[in-house]
Structure 1
Amino acid sequence: MMLTLRCACVRKPRAFLPPLPIISIYGDTTAAAAFFFYISTTAHSSNRSNIGYNPFYHFQPPSAAAAAIGSELQGGSQEDVVHSFREWFKSGNKPLLDRIFQSLASHNEEFGDHLELSRQAVDAALSQLGLRLTEDLVLEVLNYGKHHVLSCLKFFDWAGRQPVFYHSRSTFNAIFKILYRAKLKPLMLDFLETYMKRRHDHRVRFYNTLVMGYAIAGKPEVALQLFGRMRFQGIDLDGYAYHVLLNAMVEENCFDVVEMLAKQIAVRGLESDITHSILVKSFCKQKQLDKAELFLRELVGSNRVLNQYAVGFLVDGFCKNNQFEKAARLVEEFRELGVVPMERAYSVWITDLVLAGKLDGVLEFVQSMKSLEGYVPDVFRYNTLICKLLRENRLKDVCNLLMEMKEKNIYPDQVTMNAVLCFFCKAGMVEVALQLYNTRAEFSLSPSSMAYNYIINTLSGDGSIDEAYGVLKNSLDQGYFPGKKTFFILADALCREGKLDKMKELILVALERNFMPIDSIYDKFITALCKARKLEDGYLLHGQLNRSGKVSSKGTYFNLISGFNKSNRGDIAARLLIEMQEKGHSPTRKLFRAVICCLCDMENPEKQFLKLLEMQLSCHEPNCQIYNFFIDGAGHAGKPELAREVFETMWRNGILPNLSSEILMLQSYLKNGRVSEALNFFNDLSQGTKLRRKLYNTMIVGLCKANKPDIALGILMKMRENKLKPSLECYEVLIQLLCSYKKYDVVVGLIEEMMEVGRHVSSFIGNVLLVHSLKTNQLYGAWVHSKGSHNGTSFNLLLGELIGTFSHHIRVNQDVEDLEKVIEQCFPLDIYTYNMLLRRLSTNNIDLACELFNRLCQKGYEPNQWTYEILVHGFSKHGMTTEAKRWVEEMFKKGFHPTENTKLFI
């Protein structure tokens, strides 16, 4: 036994659980085994530690596991599990006590700062129960409802006013402890002052009661003053009051007084096992553990009276000072001596091991004591261990203990029932937890805040938002309000599912209770309102937050502005744009652009635009970036004249336009087809200074997009004359546009010129050349007649050969792999290149097309929608409808949807 206790503390704990008892909580071993297996499988999964894992969300078992459980349990459904636990919960019911507290709770009234007793209502309610008041009954009622302080006070007051009953020291001590544990010291002191004024109403020793009350209330100086007054008047405390006072002095660390009182108790012949246990407690509180141990052994050696609390205090003292080995030896030694019952020491040992996190040691100890002595922990120890195991997600062990409690006929209390609700939530059986919760009135269950949080979190996590909100409303009726994390989870789920009316109610309830949700909750709500096109509601909430000093996030501003832009309310969007900058958020160019475009779609666009510019310049220090945002926005809104006005305003305000300003101004002209103005602006910029390369590139690309290839080509030549190297994009867009006009001789010359400046043929240019080679022989003819074909490099010859091959439409029997290698030497292949090859091959030889598809995948290219479309068309043209449908299914798997044209083929 000594070895077992040491192992529980010193070596690494090992999981030790004996086989489950034959009698289970279901009364059927097959059902119990099925349930145990189910929890075993889910418990392992619930211990996962993913990045960002939220402990409030539970593990949801796979549907197959849930189906297996349903078939294994009695009746093939979860109703049997619910029924079994409901009956167990009912077994702990005490109908008479429940009726007493129901009557008391129904008449709670609150007046000012004090809780007053509605005496007439209480008298009427309790008199109907026909109670036979005794000290034992009153103590039982007070112990049963010790967490319902107001109801206990009302019952205590009512009992004291009945002609057949007088309060005893024990009942006074009980109510004092209830008030003390509830940390209601002011109420307790009021109670004692009232008691002092009504001395004539009490049959109990007056001073005894006052001394006990003030001692328990944490007022040792008052208690001692009253004790001194008693002694001056020639009266003394009785043994019970002496020990209450002695214990209170220990609790208040008045150890000099403890020594004096202990001597007084001994002199008066009142010394008992209670005295000894309090003294051991005193030594332990002073961390004089050796002295406490010596005192305890002297008591045993002299055959003096000893009780189990003394051993428990010393065990607790060792554990609190991290001396678990000494505690283990002490428990073992006194167990073997047999001089005192060990239940208290065992209970303390279990509690301290749990608090220290030595859960495997606790489980091993309990099982060994059960087999050696038949020891069964009380419901409090079971609850302590179960709650700790729940926090560690050790659901299998929790299941084991619940079955054990049922087998040993240990009646569950409120803590047990709440732990069971949390257990089912964590085990992925929220439906069982919800059914037990819905039938809580049958067994007088008062869910704790933790149970409410678990149920709400779990229901929110698996999408049962309406049920979660219903539980929340019930919890509010019971006086509970969810914690911050639960509030966040539920609010997030309501916003995500678009339950905006419920979300609004939740926010209002929170504000009524002076609970301020975190900013991200408001941001999510406003975002959800914007998505639901309830912009006015979102804007009003945003305004309320501003007035309360809260700052909406950057994302919230973006969502509001975007929503008002889509609703053509540019004026509000512009106001929000300025406001977000005042709040410290920086808008992007894209956001500015969207707001300006919206303003330019309204009436008097110039006025709206200039008003926003004026507001911006008045609120913030002018800089190039802000002006550039407005130039860009005006250009995208189709208002280049407004862009030019901003550009001129920069000069007038002493802000020198930078390169970005000039580029944006050029783009605003070109993208709106104002080519002549763009050329004029470009020429103006070139006066007296050498233009930078980016301006040339912008001009060339913009002219190509404006469908002006000749002007673009002229500027490119001018750029080359100025010894500037055009960007690859310039060559790409210009070659593409020239090919569309079939000016292939110019294209060939441009390619030669491009390679001369060190630019390589890109995939884009190569694909354009191949496409036009497939359409016509003219490109190849232009290539043949160019001087580069006669005096060019090997690359030119290779590229000309490739164009020639495609101009003759690629023979199907040609080696496709060799063709790929030739293309790779000319330019990098991309998926567009492969799609061209596939289209050509699929028309005549679908097998070669499939080989090419497999090869491109092996090389790491990602097929796009057109890749699949080409193969579907190819299979259909060859009459292979089944294969075509299979490729359509593959398209869907990849997230692509066939076009209407493709659907005609299948």
Structure 2
Amino acid sequence: MRLTSKRRLYHFTKTRLSRLKSASFCTSAENDAAAEEIAAILEKKDWKRLLETTSELKNKLNPETVHSILHQSSVRDPKRLFNFFNWAIHQVPNPQNLDSFSFLAIILCNSKLFRDANMVLDKMVQTRRPVQAVLASIIRCYKEYKGNDAGVFEILIDCYKKVGSWNNAVYVFLGAKEGGFLPGLVCCNNFLGDLVKFNKLDLFWKVFDGMVDAKLVPDVYTFTNVINAHCRVGDIEKAKRVILEMEEKGCTPGLVTYNVMIGGLCRAGVVDEALKLKKSMAEKGFAPDAYTYNTLIDGFCREKRFSEAKLMMTEMRRAGLNPNHFAYTALIDGLMKQGNVVEGFRVKDEMVARGIKLNVFTYNALISGVCKAGDLEKAKALFNEMVWIGAEPDAQTFSILIESYSRAKKIDKAYELLNEMKRSNLTPTLYTYSGIINGLCHCGDLERANHVLDAMVEGGLKPNLVIYTNLIKGHIQKSRFEEARRILDRMMEKGVLPDVICCNTLISGLCKAQKMDEARSCLVEMVDRGLKPNAHTYGAFIHGYAKAGEIEAVERCFKEMQNYGIAPNNVIYSELINSHCKAGNVTEALSTLRCMSEQGVVPDVKTYTVLIHGLATNGRINDARDVFSQLHGKGIVPDVFTYTSLISGFCKLGDMKAALNLYKEMCQKSIAPNIVTYNTLIGGLCKAGNIEKARKVFNEISQKALAPNTKSYTMIIDGYCKSGNLTQAFQLLDEMPSRGVPPDSFAYCALVDGCCKEGKLEKALSLFYEMVRKGFASTTAFNALIDGLCKSGKPNDANGLLEDMVDKCITPNHITYTILIDHHCKAGEMKEAENLFLEMQRRNLVPNTVTYTLLLHGYDRLGRRAEMFALFERMAANAVEPDEIIYGLMTNAHLKENNLIGNLKLLDEILVKDVVLDQKWSSLLLDAVCKREEFSEVVKFLDEMAEQGLRLSPVTCHKLVRSFHDKGSLEKAEQILESLVQFGWVPNSTSVHSIIHKDHDDANSESPGNFSKQVTFGVAC
């Protein structure tokens, strides 16, 4: 087989070479002689047989000979010349001269053989010679041959149009015009119409301008094309001006003109104006046709004005016109896009009842609608129905279904449809592949998504921006940021430039992952590419910084976006309010709401909810209630999240009456509580000790067709445990698995804690080891057990449990150690307590105020005040702030040690920090200073403080002077003041009178809980 093929190839090559040789060595004289001889034979009817049997003459045939025959035109029959030329093309291996095509086309046009001329010029275009050379040849030959029909130029334009060479077609038109051969008005109008149809509007205006330049008078078809061109780009005003121009020039618009204008108005969304134009055309004697009505029906559907679309359909029938597929499909498509599936199928049934057979476009509209509604079974049923009635599914049908199954994460079904599509000889489109890739990315199957991308490229399709953006988003959702960046780089290498949405996808993902520096780099690159960030861009940054608690960065971003001229929207303002609330800046949050309204941005329910939640979380429940009232006043309906936020605020404050009233109100307003609402109420009621009401609310969850979740069970179990009802708590724990709710560590912790408090340590240990087996044993459960063992007098077991805790790789926390330290301190075992204190620090656990308080209490009980003073100093060195309890303990210690300087230093520290100290200790402190038996000792101690470089604050100095004055000793008060002035602790201008007067004013302005007032009151007593 291969040998035969090689022999044939050899014979064919040899023949071509021999012909090429004979053609190459023919002289001009020989060509002319051969041309005359062939021309003579062409006069005979059996010319083809004669030429084919005369091998010598046939061998002399070459492009020059053919050109000579055509150029001499000695053959009188143009049709025979045409047949000869077609025969010669297959005999001569070399391409024919362009002039041969030109002469023959002109001869045929002169003889009105336009169909044959068209075939010749088609072959001429197929030579792929430059259009400049083609046009130059025709113009030259036309002038030489004296062509009498310029139709040859019109045919050439059509030939280029047929192969989609629009630029070449326009070149021929303009070139012919410049050469003095203007195509006719019909050709020009058809050319304009085609250019509009294929959206080649730049070329359209070149042709139109050429017509105007050539003084070619436009007719109604020309004007209609111009109107259509303006409408295509949405320039309705210019289109309307063309209609006025027509009328001014005496060119009456026709029905087609009006229909084009109505179509443009409908696409621009001004259907009412289109309706007025319909009435106007009727007044001018033009009865609307089916196209007019169909266009208006489609226009009304686009604007979701379905009742008017139906009225238009009724009017259409009254006019004797039957709505067709287009009208019904437009109505069905509009209804489906609005989500009105039931009405869409009613229109389908009406369509069938009227005998209109559904086509693929109607089915596509129906399938798309039910897919958007999530009813994939109905979509597949429609697909089967259309196959059954013979409406063959097209690529769009398959693509809609494939995209919908992919979005529903039914990837295997999507692949089945893709294979079926290929078996039906339908080529998958960009939309098809985009749907599958998007679905795979949503499922996290990025490997298969990349395979689909490769298959798509192998199939000759170029991935677009949407596909690349989905891939980037998929990788970001998997935290594969480097791969996402590589995809971005790859798409740019392929010539697909990212848009703002694509960049925002990457920036948003980075911000959510708290990679703010990388996100900022992406923003810089985005701006460098000439893309302008929008509200979504900055919204991502503001959310990211707010999540990280960087309020200054949030405000900086907010100002930056305003400087860019980007107006913040509701989402941005809501995020800003939320970040202020999280930082505790509720005043700024309220100010932001006011600013928002001043900027013309109307707060929505989400904005108000964010603010109410923030205020409630910060304990500003009255402000939250005021904002809630403001929301009502604006006519905004609060949703379940608004109510839940406010209910949560009242629950945190223990105002369960107000919380339950809000719950009742929302139910009365048909705002269904969600599981978060119920959990909030259960938690609040349990905290308030109202376990019976909490159980009632818990039971209501199931009555409202909701299912209790893990948190619901955990809170009610914890409530029962705290109320001592372990029986109910364990019943609920047993119920959880049967309701499909797995118990978590929090539920077990609550039960462990409850058992410990009830003294059921064995049950608590059993639960704990069950937690260990299930793999969620926690530090909290350990702490509850250790606390229970300590309180039950089993400290050795508690210590053993601590060692067990470490062995099981469960890290003890500061609470663990604080519990054990508390037990040893109460037992007077300070050595053990000290060891635990040191051990917790070796584990990098920072003792808190409670830990220090327990140790100080322990030392105090044993009278070991030196250790107390040392521990207090260590506490200060470790930057742990003492509270009023610790200050009380230290005050007592200093008093017992009769340490006046220590008392003064402590008094000074308390007053400077404005600590609200118990009245007993504040009185004793000042009494210790002022009730010294020898006044000289007080002065002496003050001198010693000054010599040691210590100083008292102005506040403490004033209290000393005031205390001596209030005890009736003005002289001592003045002496103390003199020393204080001498030490430079108070200004020289200070007098006893000014101190007394100032303290009196301060006392009137301060609250009763202020320590300064307590001190004065205590000494006076």
Q: Normalising by the residue count of structure 2, what TM-score does the alignment of the two structures yield? A: 0.35
Query: TM (normalized to structure 1)?
Result: 0.38
Instruction: Tell me which of the two structures has the higher relative contact order, counting C-alpha pairs closer than 8 angstroms and 6 or more residues apart.
Output: 1
Determine which structure has more spread, i.e. the larger CA radius of gyration. 2
